Amino acid sequence: MTLYRFIGFVLLLMIPFFGLWYALGALPSAPALWLAQVALPWALPEVVQSVVIDRHQLMVFTLFGEAGQSVVPLDQAEYQLAFPLNTRILSYSIPFYAALHFASRIEGSLERFARGLLVLWLLMFVGVIAVTLKNLMLGLGGDLLWTASANPLPSANAIALLFQFSTLIVPTVAPIMLWAWSVRESPHWRAILLGEAAPRRQG
């Protein structure tokens, strides 16, 4: 397979994979979201009340609310503050990786895909944490997040950097790196990726 045929095959496979990903909502990223459901209330018990998966969104309910346009503890508030997270901004790495992986037609395809998917889920979990911290930082305002939390938190600059890295770089770069790693032992793909001489066919 030439590089141009491979790219064309990837683009073709993206149509069904992205269609399925969109139709399934939050299901493709479910393991990362389930882990976040446990981790966020545990790590921020003074800030996060609960985390709920709603279609393709993750709803983070806090222990704060608003009263007179001011953020106050929930028992003093008129209504509760909750922050939605669109999981698709993180999970589109899955259909992209699937298209790259299955277009390459390498041996042990399903096992290799499962290992790559596990890595993507772990990266998505980090992304969920990063986006949630950014939402809490902006939504609660001021230093309330750091004051309320008993556990140490990253600085505002670190949260902003992690958010940008998790949403802008990881979903596009991670699938390419995982695919390149999975085909590294194939002589044919080494020839394409590293510019080595292509192996000659016998007969």
**Rounded average pLDDT over 8-35:** 95
Using the Cα atoms of residue 160, residue 163, residue 167 and residue 171 in order, give the sign of their dihedral: positive
| pLDDT classification of 203: cutoffs 50, 70, 90 | very low
Angle, CA 159 vertex, CA 178 and CA 127 arms, to 5°: 35
Cβ of 81: how many Cβ atoms within 10 Å?
Answer: 20
| pLDDT classification of 70: cutoffs 50, 70, 90 | confident
pLDDT for residue 149 is more than 90: no
| pLDDT classification of 185: cutoffs 50, 70, 90 | confident
d(Cα 81, Cα 202) in Å, to the nearest integer?
A: 67
Proportion of the chain above pLDDT 70, given as a percent = 93
| Contact (CB, 8 A) for 198 and 191 | yes
**Rounded average pLDDT over 56-84:** 91
| Contact (CB, 8 A) for 98 and 71 | no
Highest mean pLDDT pick, 4-13, 28-37, 75-84: 28-37
Q: Give the chain's mean pLDDT.
A: 89
pLDDT for residue 13 is more than 80: yes
* Radius of gyration over every alpha carbon of the chain, rounded to an integer in angstroms: 21
d(Cα 126, Cα 65) in Å, to the nearest integer?
A: 26
pTM score over 0.75:
yes
In the block, which residue shows the tokens 């309910």?
A: 61
d(Cα 51, Cα 115) in Å, to the nearest integer?
A: 27
